[in-house]
Amino acid sequence: MKRFGRPARIAVVGTGWWATQTHIPALRDLPAAEIAALCDVDARKLRAAADAYGVDQTYADHREMLASERPDAVVVATTHATHFAVADDCLAAGAHVLIEKPMTLRAADARALTKRAAQAGLQIVTGYPANYRAHARVAAALLSSGALGPIQCVQTTFNSYCIDLLAGHDRTAQGVYPVHGPGDVYSRVEQSGGGHGHLQLTHAAGLLFFVTGLRAALVQARTARFGLPVDLVDTVLVEFEGGALGSVSGTSNAFVPEHRLVVGCADGGLEIDLFAGTTRIRRKGGEMESLPAAEERDLARAPVNNLVGVALGSELPISGHEPGWRAVELLEASYRSAAASGRATAVRELYA
């Protein structure tokens, strides 16, 4: 891998609320990174972001930016529906990419990005901060080692309270965003793809696939909107390759936020409670172990920090293309199944 004697030049495409709250300030604070340029089709948001963080180079067209600036890596933080096209152009231009979740809306597009990156010798980082938790990495290594036996059952839940975002209200009046809020983007199917599934449940799916290494084979799902323009509640049943069964569910109208992953294996199992910061492991014979609490700061910045290391040639992706791609397969199959009143949808159908 290449190692530079200079800071990594990182561009950001999409200057919405998450980029201005997390990615851009993270890059600004990293001595090993230089913000090469900002890009957004929305001139007002672009100007506000550039002024807030003192960035001189701005573009309305990411292709022009790529040709002019030739960045080492790019943060793709555009609307969900545009992730594939923008990331594909970045990889074609020779830049590593951090793609915000969901990686894409279509499994075939996630596969295409993975192939392009491999052919070009480039890396994809996916924006799942939970995958950077020490407990998640320990759990992934433990399951991969086979110490708990084959996986038989997986249950994961992601509940949050962001119903207002799905209704098209971003709470900007409360002053919760440093530059600007998301507006009504999460309520618009043509931009977001879906509601709770693509906004929140994708986090649960990303962690599930990162920790277990599984892949969905058959999916049955139901969603409910309860008067919203997008799904508010999602319940998914999954048969994984190899025979394990699982459930993935959640709501954006939860009284108590929850992100929990439970994995049952032939010779033990584990439970990760993300919000409580706890992980319990049960080994064969009933022996219980609780992992010590890990002091973890700025996990939201972990993916972009990882991208800088990737661009400098000093790191490999921690949360790479694989969990992102598998999460896209699960979500696309889920939305297809829900649209067909819960008909079982095979993941292989997504590539037909």
What mean pLDDT, rounded, does the chain reach? 96
Do 331 and 205 lie in one domain? The reply is yes
Q: What is the pTM of this model?
A: 0.96
Residue 2 has pLDDT above 70, yes or no: no
**Edge-first strand listing for the sheet containing 58-59:** 58-59, 33-39, 8-13, 73-76, 96-100, 124-127
Residue 70 lies in a domain: yes
Domain containing 290 equals: 131-294+326-351
The model's pLDDT over 45-92, given as tens digits with 9 standing for 90+, comes to 999 999 999 999 999 999 999 999 999 999 999 999 999 999 999 999
Average pLDDT over residues 139-159: 98
Residue 240 lies in a domain: yes
Q: What integer pLDDT is reported at residue 157 of this predicted model?
A: 98
Do 109 and 141 lie in one domain? The reply is no
Do 207 and 339 lie in one domain? The reply is yes
DSSP E strand stretches across the chain: 8-13, 33-39, 58-59, 73-76, 96-100, 124-127, 151-161, 216-224, 233-240, 245-251, 253-265, 268-273, 278-282, 288-290, 345-346
The model's pLDDT over 267-323, given as tens digits with 9 standing for 90+, comes to 999 999 999 999 999 999 889 999 998 878 889 999 999 999 999 999 999 999 999
Average pLDDT over residues 135-157: 98
Please give the tally of structural domains in the chain: 2
- Split at pLDDT 50, 70, 90, the class of 197 is very high
Integer Cα distance of 190 and 266 in angstroms: 43
Do 330 and 316 lie in one domain? The reply is no
Q: What integer pLDDT is reported at residue 175 of this predicted model?
A: 66
Do 53 and 168 lie in one domain? The reply is no
Residue 3 has pLDDT above 60, yes or no: no
Structure tokens at 349: 């159908």
Average pLDDT over residues 333-341: 98
Residue 214 has pLDDT above 90, yes or no: yes
Residue 1 has pLDDT above 70, yes or no: no
Contact 301, 189 (CB under 8 A): no
Contact 66, 44 (CB under 8 A): no
Q: What integer pLDDT is reported at residue 176 of this predicted model?
A: 81
Do 145 and 263 lie in one domain? The reply is yes
Q: What integer pLDDT is reported at residue 296 of this predicted model?
A: 83
Do 230 and 315 lie in one domain? The reply is no
